[in-house]
């Protein structure tokens, strides 16, 4: 018997004065980092939603991650600035580096050695962080990833940076698809063609990629076989809208969560592409930032969303029997959904087999009688 989960809005906070661009949970799931178009980065407590610190970068925040080697934050700005920040109860310490001339749209941290990779327009640079003789943080350029071959007449524009399970760099480009780079030789290992990839994220086991395209909506790709897997059923698809929308995996990679122009965030079943449930933010309230986290201690899934008017929403799950039935509650039998569809499709296939067998039997009898 499957456990029924209930999604509910835990809290809503006015975090920034303008659009929320990026969101991230820290690795422990205790802090929320929020980057806004107003040039500020905020850090909130997950449990209470209280503000812990506020950093003014004086340029819109375009990318943000938590460091894989410490509790620090790394974020990029529209003016090409790369910022490394650490904070405690009393102070914030930050170092700044003008890493690119173009907006710094993508960041990732190398799992093994903690090297940082940044992407801006068509430029991808690998950085090494260290300490100088005064113990201040220093940055060293290790490598610049070459531009991809001209698969199209469009210029290369980086839209995401990730690492696969073999430690190879995956770079998605707006017009050039998803490319796997071997950094040691600066060569391409493989490529998946995509149609105007605006955003992309990987599943936790690095076997799937979810992407958003204004022309095709939300899609999932199989990285093991390097091919298209499934499109999500999405009624909001509007090819005239050029804004990019976020997409992330959730629920142990069984679901995909995508942004929204209308304020109704959809959560899809990865296997079937059907909407499992929706998170309603109110009418005409675009959602342009999403982050997800699984808190294993409490066995709780969390979804963090940010809107164009500067608000953040934290949604979490509780078992059905302990949930209060409220208007802002969304229910779904998360783990049973895929199994139910498997049974239905199996039943359909059995009926089809019986029908075809009966038709064949009738045809054989008529042929025998005719001869």
What one-character DSSP code corresponds to residue 260? B
pLDDT value at position 233?
94
Whether residue 114 contacts residue 69, with contact meaning beta carbons closer than 8 Å, is answered with yes
Q: Where are the domains of the chain?
A: 5-332, 336-371
With b meaning 16 or more CB within 10 Å and e meaning fewer, what string describes 133-163? eeeebebeeebebeebeeeeeeebbbbbbbb
pLDDT value at position 346?
56
Kindly report, residue by residue over 26-36, the tens digit of the pLDDT. Answer: 999 999 999 99
**Top-level class of domain 5-332:** mainly beta
Residue 56: CB atoms within 10 A of its CB come to 9
What is each CA distance from 221 to 117, 184, 249, in whole angstroms? Answer: 23, 26, 12
Please, which residues have CB within 8 angstroms of residue 322's CB and are 6 or more apart in sequence?
none
pLDDT value at position 260?
95
pLDDT value at position 153?
87
pLDDT value at position 2?
46
Containing H/E element for 318? strand 311-319
pLDDT value at position 141?
95
pLDDT value at position 337?
40
Kindly report, residue by residue over 45-55, the tens digit of the pLDDT. Answer: 999 999 999 99
Q: How far apart are CA 84 and CA 102, in angstroms?
A: 18
| pLDDT < 70: residue spans in the chain | 1-4, 69-70, 132-135, 318-353, 355-371
pLDDT value at position 327?
44
């Amino acid at each position: 018997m499957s456990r029924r989960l209930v999604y509910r809005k835990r809290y809503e906070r006015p975090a920034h004065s303008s659009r929320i661009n990026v969101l991230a949970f820290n690795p422990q799931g205790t802090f929320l980092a929020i980057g806004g178009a107003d040039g500020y980065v905020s850090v909130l407590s997950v449990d209470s939603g209280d503000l812990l610190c506020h950093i003014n970068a004086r340029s819109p925040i375009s990318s943000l991650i938590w460091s894989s080697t410490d509790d620090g934050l790394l974020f990029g700005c529209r003016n090409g600035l790369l910022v490394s920040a650490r904070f405690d109860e009393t102070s914030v310490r930050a170092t700044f580096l003008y890493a690119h001339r173009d907006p710094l749209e993508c960041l990732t941290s190398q799992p093994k050695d903690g090297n940082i990779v940044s992407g801006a327009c068509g430029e991808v640079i690998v950085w090494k962080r260290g300490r100088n003789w005064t113990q201040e943080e220093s940055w060293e350029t290790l490598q610049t990833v070459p531009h991809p071959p001209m698969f199209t007449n469009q210029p290369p524009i980086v839209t995401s940076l990730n690492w696969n399970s073999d430690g190879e760099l995956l770079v998605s480009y707006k017009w050039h698809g998803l490319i796997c780079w071997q950094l040691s030789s600066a060569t391409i290992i493989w490529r998946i063609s995509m149609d105007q990839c605006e955003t992309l994220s990987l599943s936790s086991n690095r076997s799937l990629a979810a992407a958003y395209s204004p022309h095709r909506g939300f899609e999932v790709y199989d990285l093991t076989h390097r091919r298209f897997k499934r499109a999500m059923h999405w009624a909001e698809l509007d090819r005239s809208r050029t804004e990019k929308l976020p997409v992330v995996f959730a629920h142990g990679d069984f679901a995909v969560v995508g942004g929204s122009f209308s304020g109704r965030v959809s959560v899809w079943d990865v296997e079937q592409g059907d909407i499992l449930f929706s998170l309603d933010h109110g009418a005409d309230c675009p959602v342009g930032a999403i982050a997800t986290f699984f808190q294993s201690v409490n066995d709780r899934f969390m979804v963090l969303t940010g809107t164009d008017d500067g608000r953040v929403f934290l949604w979490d799950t509780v078992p059905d029997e302990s949930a209060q039935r409220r208007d802002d509650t969304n229910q779904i039998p998360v783990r049973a959904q895929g199994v139910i569809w498997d049974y239905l499709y199996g039943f359909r296939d059995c009926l089809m087999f019986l029908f075809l067998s009966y038709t064949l039997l009738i045809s054989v009898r008529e042929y025998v009688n005719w001869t």
